[in-house]
Amino acid sequence: MRRSEVQVDGESASYLTAGRDGPVVLLLHGTYWSRVWLPVLGRLAEAGQRPIAVDLPGLGRSGGELTRETATVPALAEWVARFASAMGISGPIALAAHDIGGAIAQHLLVHGQLEVSRLALVNSVTYDSWPAPHVARFRDPAATGDDLLAARRRAVASALAGAATEQLIAEYLDPWTDPRVRRSWVALAAAAESRYTLELIPALKRSTTPKLLIWGEDDEFETVEYAEKFAREIPHTTLIRISEADHIPTENAPGRIARALIDFFTT
């Protein structure tokens, strides 16, 4: 496991990766950061994949700072395409995404900014499921101080469910100790609009790309009912439910989720 970086738009784009060869699996985060994918990276690499979990600009360990304009789903999808180009990634690509990263992934698939061979969504935003109330309340650019950190701590503890420990919560919260990252996160919250997923539904219904949904069943906001609806309405979609897991199921069932991703991406 290692962290590296590449330059995108003159700023460092940080990413976690494991392995050195094999087909690329690009992993996107949403309102958290690349840490959500850490529990499965090693397993993907051991199976012959080359996982790359990137931090979006201004978030996690990446440089730069988001604004409300650059934090929209279409703008972030364009950034991800530029990141892939900077990494020399071309041809069909396996794509997995969590939370708002799922909106970015759906946009990339529908608009062909990347050649997506298979799409996996983990407790992703879909339809009009977002923004969640605990995200929407921070649309005010002034909300970047201690109140945000306290709210993020509560959100992280809830999302980790039974996996939550003080050490793990601290790891997840660490990037938000940087005011620049807090400002970027508030911009992401301000730019969160469900129209970006709702407008993709007609094209997704026509899509023949295989899709996998992996869902922590106890998520109160990106509820499993949304996943069930997606699986019913969007062709070529399979749903795997993860019991006793909330919004970040990779921490609750890393082995099962890694196996599901490996089977899906290598079929």
Identify which has the larger pLDDT, 264 or 140: 264
CB atoms within 10 A of CB 177: 10
With tokens 């992703």, the residue in question is 124
pLDDT tens-digit profile of 164-196?
A: 999 999 999 999 999 999 999 999 999 999 999
pLDDT tens-digit profile of 13-58?
A: 999 999 888 999 999 999 999 999 999 999 999 999 999 999 999 9
Residue 17 to residues 25, 121, 218: CA-CA distances in angstroms?
A: 10, 19, 29
Closest CA to 98 of 243, 250, 204: 250
